[in-house]
Amino acid sequence: NAGVMQNPRHLVRRRGQEARLRCSPMKGHSHVYWYRQLPEEGLKFMVYLQKENIIDESGMPKERFSAEFPKEGPSILRIQQVVRGDSAAYFCASSPRDSKNEQFFGPGTRLTVL
């Protein structure tokens, strides 16, 4: 049973470009969460999605960031017009239901903005 998959594992972008991060949850999991981790810091919640629904986006910056989890295909975290401060590790986690169940993390995408 494959775990949570994220790609790419490493992404380098220049300031002003767009970054697209993908996450495929574990089989049977319908809940997806995105977290951001700055170097030497903890994990910060960004957004919680179910298929075709954004449940909680209270951790998402108001501008440039968006997320979706379509009926078919992976969840996408999109960052437009990246800036140096966006450089971080972005982790996706999935669970079969809500916070009563463990969230399993993917390997992360390390974004570097030049």
Partner 1 sequence: QQPVQSPQAVILREGEDAVINCSSSKALYSVHWYRQKHGEAPVFLMILLKGGEQKGHDKISASFNEKKQQSSLYLTASQLSYSGTYFCGTGGYAGGTSYGKLTFGQGTILTVHP
73 vs 89: CA distance, rounded Å: 22
Contact residues for partner 1, defined by CB under 8 A? 31, 33, 35, 41-45, 48, 55-56, 58-59, 91, 95, 98-108
Reference 65, options 73, 54, 74; nearest CA is: 54
Q: 38 vs 83, which CB is nearer to partner 1?
A: 38
CB of 43 to partner 1, least distance (A): 4
Q: Which is nearer to partner 1, 17 or 54 (CB)?
A: 54
- Shortest gap between Cβ of 16 and partner 1 (angstroms)? 28
Residue number with CB closer to partner 1 (1 or 14): 1
- Residue 108 or 113 having the CB closest to partner 1: 108
Nearest distance from residue 81's CB to partner 1, in Å? 26
* DSSP state for residue 39 in the 8-state scheme: T
Residue 30 to residues 3, 38, 49, 68, Cα–Cα distance (Å)? 13, 27, 8, 13
Residue 102 beta carbon to partner 1: minimum distance, rounded to whole angstroms: 5
